[in-house]
Amino acid sequence: MSTATETQAAPRPAAHSRALPEWWPLAALVVLAAALRLSTLGLQSFWFDEAFTPVNVLHPSLFKTLHAITQTENSPPLWYIVEWVDYRILGTGEWALRLPSALAGIALVPVAWAIGKELAGRAAAIGTAAIVAVSPIFVWYSQEARVYGLYAFVSGVLILCFLRVLSAPEDRRRMIAFAAAGALAVLTHYFTAFLLAGMAAWLLWEPRTRRRCVPALAAIGVVGLALIPLISAQGGRNTSWIGEWPLRSRLESIPQYFLTGYNGSPLGHSIELLVALPLLGACALGVRRLLVSRDGAPQASSAAEAATAEQRYRRGAAISLWLAACGFGIPILLALGGSDYLAPRNVLGAMVPTAALVAVLATWPRTWPLGPALLALGAAGLLAITIDIDLSPRLQRGDWRGLARTIPPGGSERAYTTVLFGSAPLEHYIPGLRKLPAHQSVVVREVLETGELPLREGAGAPPPGFHLVEMHQQHGLVAFRFVAASPHRLSEEQLRRYVVDAAEPWVLVPGNARASR
C-alpha cells in the first residue's frame, strides 16, 4: 500500500517542475517594457528641451557642463552628470542621449513590482508593474533626453525604500538605504521634496519609526540645504511658461497625461474615457469592498488570514493614497499660494504611487475576477495608446530632424528665421548655426522661414527682393526657402518679422556669416 501511494505521488514533482516560476509575470513585463522603449528609442527627433541639452549644456569639460547647469537649467545636477558621461562615451545622437532615460524606465518596472508587493502582495505587484511598463506617460519620458525618466525611477526607489523601512524600522540597513535614496531623489528633481515631505510626516507620526528615522531625515535635509546655492543661482529660470498656462488647464492635463501621455490630446476625450472607465471601475470596486465589510476572501484558508489580507490592503491603499496626495497636493497648494511651478511633467514622480494605488484597489480581496479583469483591460488600453504614438506622427514630437534634411546645404549668406522651440533643434541638426544677436545685421542671399503649424496670418511672405523657391512640410512643421538675385543686408529686427507662426521669433545664421552692428 505504501508502494502504491508513492507511485501515485511520483508524478507530482514532475508536474510542479513544469509550472512557471512565481516571478514570470515580472520577467514578461520587463521584456515588454524594454521592447516598447528600446525598439523606437531613436524614432522621433529631438524637440526643443532635448536639443537644448547637447547644444547649450553638455561640454567636453564636466566643470563647464556643471557651470552651464547654473546658467541655463532649473534642475539639480545628477541627471546632467549621468548625461555627460553618456555623451562622452556614445555621442549626441537621439539613441545615445535617450539611453539613460530608457534604462531608468526599464528598471522602474521591477521597482514598481516590489512596491506593489510591499503594499499588498503579488497581485498588486503585477498590476503596478503592468501600468508602469505600458503607460504612455512612462514610456514617453523613458524616450526623452531629459531628467524625467530618471526622476520617475528614483521616485520609485525612494518609495520602495520607504515601504521597507515601515515594514522593518529596526533594520539599520533599510534606514541607510532610505537616506541614500532620498539624497539621490533630491539631487535628481526638486519635486521629489513633496514625496519626501509625505514620507517624513508618516515616519514621524508612527511610534515605531519616530525616533529611528531622525538621522535619515537629517541626512536628506543636509543634501537639500547644500542645493540652496544652486537653486538661488538658477532662480526658477525658464519657468515663466508655467504661469502663462492657466492653472485649471494644467490640473485637467494631469489625468490626461496619466491616461494618454504627453501628446495624447489629439486622441480626444472619448479615447481618454475608454481607457479611464475600466481603471475607474476597478478602483470603485476596490473602494466598495473597502467600505463594505464581509466575511471570507478568495484564496484565504481561514477567517484570520482573510482579516490579515484585508488589513494589509487597507494599509497599502492608505500609504499609496497619502504619497500620491502629497506629490500632487502640495505643489497645487503652493501654486494657489503664488509659488507656481506646477507642470504635469513635474508631478511624474507622484504618478508612481498613483499607479500603485490603482493596482491595490483593483486587486482588493473579494474583487476577483472582475477587479483584475478591469485592470487588465485598462492596461491594454494604455498599451494600445503607446503603440499608436509610435505609429502616428501627429502624436509624436515635431520632426525637426526630418525638416532639417529637406533643407539643401548652403553657404555663409543664409539666415534662418524660426521660433524659440525650433532654435535648439535647428542648431543641433544643422551644425555650425548660431543666434544672431539683437542690433546686428547680416548679409544674406537666402532666407529660410521655419516653424510649426498652424501658420500665422501672412506667413510665407518673402522679404523684399526675395522670391520663394521651395516649401516643405514635415509632420506639423514647415519650411519656406526664399532666394534673392543679389546679397541683401538685413538686420536681426527685420528678419524677426518673417516667421511662420505666432511664437517667439528667433534668428539663426551660420557661424561664418558676415554679421555687424
Helix (H, G, I), strand (E, B) or coil at 489: strand
Strand 505-510 to 414-419 pairing: antiparallel
Question: What is the chain's pLDDT, residue by residue, as a tens digit (517 residues)?
Answer: 444 444 344 444 444 445 788 889 999 999 999 999 999 999 999 999 999 999 999 999 999 999 999 999 999 999 999 999 999 999 999 999 999 999 999 999 999 999 999 999 999 999 999 999 999 999 999 999 999 999 999 999 999 999 999 999 999 999 999 999 999 999 999 999 999 999 999 999 999 999 999 999 999 999 999 999 999 999 877 788 898 899 999 999 999 999 999 999 899 999 999 999 999 999 999 999 888 754 444 444 566 777 788 899 999 999 999 999 999 999 999 999 999 999 999 999 999 999 999 999 999 988 889 999 999 999 999 999 999 999 999 999 999 999 999 999 988 999 999 998 999 999 999 999 999 999 999 999 999 999 988 888 777 788 899 999 999 999 889 999 999 999 999 999 999 988 888 888 999 999 888 878 7
- Asked if residues 350 and 328 have their Cβ atoms less than 8 Å apart, the reply is yes
**Can you say whether the dihedral through the CA atoms of 339, 341, 342, 346 is positive or negative?**
negative
* Cα–Cα distance measured from residue 103 to residue 38, given in angstroms and rounded to the nearest whole number: 9
Of 64, 41, 42, 55, nearest to 420 by C-alpha is: 55
Q: How many CA atoms lie within 13 A of 387 on its CB side?
A: 8
| CB atoms near residue 22 (< 10 Å) | 8
* Cα–Cα distance measured from residue 431 to residue 412, given in angstroms and rounded to the nearest whole number: 13
| 459 phi, psi to nearest 5 deg | -65, 145
* Cα–Cα distance measured from residue 425 to residue 398, given in angstroms and rounded to the nearest whole number: 10
* Cα–Cα distance measured from residue 437 to residue 455, given in angstroms and rounded to the nearest whole number: 25
Alpha carbon distances (Å) from 334 to 5, 229, 338, 339, 409: 71, 21, 6, 5, 49
- Asked if residues 32 and 138 have their Cβ atoms less than 8 Å apart, the reply is no
Site of grid cell 544643422: 430
Domain ranges of the chain: 21-234+246-395, 400-516
Of 368, 222, 215, nearest to 286 by C-alpha is: 368
Burial of 408 (0-12, 13-18, 19+ CB in 10 A): exposed
Catalogue the long-range contacts made by 292-299 (C-beta closer than 8 Å, 24 or more residues apart). Answer: 294/366, 296/366, 297/365, 297/366, 298/365, 298/366, 298/368
**Can you say whether the dihedral through the CA atoms of 8, 14, 19, 23 is positive or negative?**
positive
Angle between helices 303-336 and 269-291 (to 10 degrees): 130
| CB atoms near residue 332 (< 10 Å) | 18
Rg (CA), the chain: 27
| 76 phi, psi to nearest 5 deg | -65, 170
Of 362, 363, 507, nearest to 447 by C-alpha is: 507
| pTM to 2 decimal places | 0.93
